[in-house]
Amino acid sequence: MLVVMQAHATPDQVRAICERIETLGFRAHTIEGTQHFAIAVTGDLRGIETCGLDEMPGVQDIVRISKPFKLVSRESKPENTVVRFANSDVTIGGEEFAIIAGPCSVESRDQAMAVAEKVAAAGAKMFRGGAYKPRTSPYAFQGMGVEGLKILAQVRERFGMLIVTEAVDNEALEAIEDYADMIQIGARNMQNFSLLKRAGRSPLPVLLKRGLSATLEELLMSAEYIMSEGNRNVVLCERGVRTFADHSRNTLDLSVIPAAHKLSHLPIISDPSHGTGKRDRVTPLALASAAVGADGLIIEVHNEPDHALSDGAQSLYPEQFVNMVSQLRGILPVVHRTLSTEPAKPRATSQAGAQ
Ligand code: PEP
Ligand code: MN
């Protein structure tokens, strides 16, 4: 349910309505739009009518949100969400196209630094690298854990890129909050509801990847779990789904991008690395992702992909990444997106362990 305020409603009137909502046992979420200020009411609203809110001063209208996802839906917030990061001018969901690049896993300091140097020079403003890896086999490399996070923090300090890394469970999420700028929730955890709720209480933005067989509605409901706990900075990610196609690791479902934009104000980026599983498909699908309106890309890049401890076959060589970025520059103006030519700037002060 959405309480739409009158244009001239006062902060006191808004506060009184929020208090009333909370007293009734629901949660109030303020939504600042360019046209109207609104308050979304979440909770178990079955059988609830307007709770007298329509009679309160400053209220223009009470609107029922028809979709099962509420805070995530465009009905509650017509304007696109632009996700911002503390102490940085990087955004996801605005005019600037976002590029996150780096290895699947952090394997060593030398490996992370070698990849970071290349992707930063090519224009990536955000660095990815798993310190905790969800692997199909328990015998496969599981990630370096906190040591990997420390390496990622050094990458940030040296190259100025923001750090995106995956939380496989609540314990990892807590550690990540001390070192990184964005929490990735992986495909296998898209419906790990306790992890989603914990991410919803984090001050860091969340990158939520679509589950291997999840529908768009299921993805949006998972984003709703995060938002319902108070975290509004959620970025969706299409990373390919399981189909009967066997020419690629997954099927990158690019049609979900305009569909997600229609239903939700949240940004959505594309992951053609996991979406194809094969290095030679990554650039074509990255360009296609930009063309269908993705807000950005997450790309696996490795300095020695043949020796990678995970996902080598889908990791670009650094020079392929450079080439991909240069081809993207041809497509982006057509879809009214920009891509800065400035490389990320190292931070003046040490940010390791601080936000
Ligand atoms: C990854 O980004 O390396 C990863 C494991 O992704 P996904 O959860 O999409 O498989
Ligand atoms: Mn990977």
Q: Which ligand is nearest to the CA of 165?
A: 1
Element (H, E) at 282: helix 279-291
Task: Pinpoint the alpha helices (H) of 59-169.
Answer: 109-122, 146-159
**Is ligand 1 within 6 A of the CB of residue 277?**
no
Residue closest by Cα to atom 9 of ligand 1: 187
Check if the beta carbon of residue 104 is closer than 8 Å to that of residue 305.
Answer: no
Tokens linked to 24: 């009734």
Which of 282, 263, 280 shows the shortest CA–CA distance to 272?
A: 282
- The DSSP letter of residue 69 is -
What pTM value is reported for the model? 0.95
Rounded CA separation 176/182 (Å): 8
Rounded CA separation 80/134 (Å): 31
Tokens linked to 113: 């630094």
For each of the chain's 355 residues, which pLDDT tens digit applies? Answer: 999 999 999 999 999 999 999 998 999 999 988 778 999 999 988 767 777 899 999 999 999 998 999 999 999 999 999 999 999 999 999 999 999 999 999 999 999 999 999 999 999 999 999 999 999 999 999 999 999 999 999 999 999 999 999 999 999 999 999 999 999 999 999 999 999 999 999 999 999 999 999 999 999 999 999 999 999 999 999 999 999 999 999 999 999 999 999 999 999 999 999 999 999 999 999 999 999 999 999 999 999 999 999 999 999 999 999 999 999 999 999 999 999 988 888 865 544 444 4
DSSP readout, 204-244?
Answer: S-EEEEPPTT--HHHHHHHHHHHHHTT---EEEEE--B--S
Place of tokens 């100025």: 160
Q: Which atom of ligand 1 is nearest to the CA of 311?
A: 3
